[in-house]
Amino acid sequence: MSKLSVNHLLGIRYLTATDINLIFETADHFKEVINRPIKKVPSLRDLTIANLFFENSTRTKLSFEIAEKRLSADILNFSSSNSSVTKGETLIDTVNNILSMKVDMVVMRHPNPGAADFLSKHVDAKIVNAGDGAHEHPTQALLDSFSIREKYGNLKGKNVVIVGDILHSRVALSNIFCLKKLGANVKVCGPLTLIPKYISSLGVEVVTDLKKALNWCDVAMMLRIQLERQDMKFFPSLREYSMLYGLDKQLLDSLDKEITVMHPGPINRGVEITSDVADSKQSIILEQVQNGVAIRMAVLYLLAGKIE
C-alpha cells in the first residue's frame, strides 16, 4: 500500500490505521530530508498551495508554510483579519476566487466545525484541515502520535492521558481517534465541566484525579484552557484550575515512574504546566514541533500524489 484511502485530510476519523502508518513511514523519510544541509526537495514544484487561516495561528501556519517550502510548492497565504471576509463574502466564494488563481491544494483553519468537510464537497482542490473549530486538528494528532512512536517505538498498549479542556479541544478529539486507531489506551482528565458527555462513547475513560491519571499513564498530553471558546464560566478561576489540574515539577517527581510530557502549544506557563516541567528532559514539546514539519510534508506529498 502506497496510497491513502482518502482524497482530503479532513479528520483522523476518516483515516485507517494503514493510512496513519503510511503517513508515519513517509514522514520518517522527510525527517531525514529536513536534517540535510539542503533541506529542500523538488517533489511538489509544479503545485500551488493556498494557506487559508480564518482563525489565529502561529505554529500550525508556520509549520505548514515551511513544509510546503521544503517540498518546493508555490504558496499563497491568506488570513481573514485583513480580507474580504470581513466585507461579507461567503466561504465558497472566497475559496473559489482563490482557486481560480490555479491553486491545487488548500490548507484551511476555520472557527466552524465541519468547514473543511463542507469545502471539500464544493470546490475542486485537495483540502487539508488545519483545525476546524472544536472538531478536529488531524495534523496535530498525527504529529503527536508520531512523536510517541519515535520515543517508544510503537503505540500499541501505551497509556496516554489527555489533561485539560477536552470540551473545546480539537486536538483532544483528533488525538483520541488517532491513539485509539493505533492501539493505545486513552483516558481524559479534567474538571467534569470541561469533559463532553459523549466521551465514553469514544471508548475513553474519565479520571478526575490528576495524580491518579499520571500514575497510570506513559504519556501525558497537557492541553491549554481555550478561554477564547468559553462563553461562560466552566471553573471558578484559573488559579484554582492550575492547583487541581496543573502539572508542576513536584507532582512530576512524585510519580511512580518517569512519564513523557507533551503539549500541542501554545503553552500558558504556570496554568496547565509550569516552566520547569515544560523545559524538563521529560518534555518532548520541541520535538513535537520538529516532527510537525515532517508530518505535514508527508501529508501534502501523499495527497499531491492523488491529484490527476
Partner 1 sequence: MKHNDRIILDSTQFDLTIKRLAHQLIENHNDFSNTIIIGLQPRGTFLANRVKAVLKSIDKKYNIQSGSLDVTFYRDDYRRQDNPLVPNKTEMNFDIEDKNVVLVDDVLFTGRTIRSGLDAMLAFGRPKKVELLVLINRRYERHLPIQADYIGKNVHTIVSERAKVSWEETDGEDKVILYTPENE
Quick one: which of 11, 23, 43, 182 contacts partner 1 (CB under 8 A)?
43
Quick one: which of 34, 41, 255, 289 contacts partner 1 (CB under 8 A)?
41
Residue 37 binding partner 1, by CB under 8 A: yes
Stretch that binds partner 1, among 28-36, 89-97, 160-168, 252-260 (CB under 8 A): 28-36
Q: Pick from 198, 147, 205: which is nearest to 180 by CA?
A: 205
Say if residues 204 and 188 touch (Cβ distance below 8 Å). Answer: yes
Hey, what's the cell of 49? 498551495
Residue 16 binding partner 1, by CB under 8 A: no
Hey, what's the cell of 139? 495534523
Closer Cβ to partner 1, 70 or 110, answer by number: 70
Could you list the beta-strand ranges (E) of the chain: 48-53, 74-79, 105-110, 126-132, 159-163, 185-189, 205-207, 219-222, 260-262
Residues between 90 and 119 with contacts to partner 1, criterion CB under 8 A: none
Q: Work out the burial of residue 250: count CB atoms within 10 Å of its CB; fewer than 13 is exposed, 13-18 middle, 19 or more buried.
A: exposed
Quick one: which of 38, 90, 153, 257 contacts partner 1 (CB under 8 A)?
38
Residue 20 binding partner 1, by CB under 8 A: no
Alpha carbon distances (Å) from 93 to 77, 146, 173, 231, 305: 17, 36, 29, 30, 27
SS3 219: strand
Stretch that binds partner 1, among 41-49, 77-85, 112-120, 244-252 (CB under 8 A): 41-49
Residue 18 binding partner 1, by CB under 8 A: no
Closer Cβ to partner 1, 26 or 48, answer by number: 26
Rounded Cα gap, residues 81 and 172, in angstroms: 26
Smallest distance from partner 1 to CB 305, Å: 3
Residue 244 binding partner 1, by CB under 8 A: no
Q: Could you list the residues that contact partner 1 (CB under 8 A)?
A: 2-3, 26, 29, 32-33, 36-38, 40-43, 301-302, 304-307
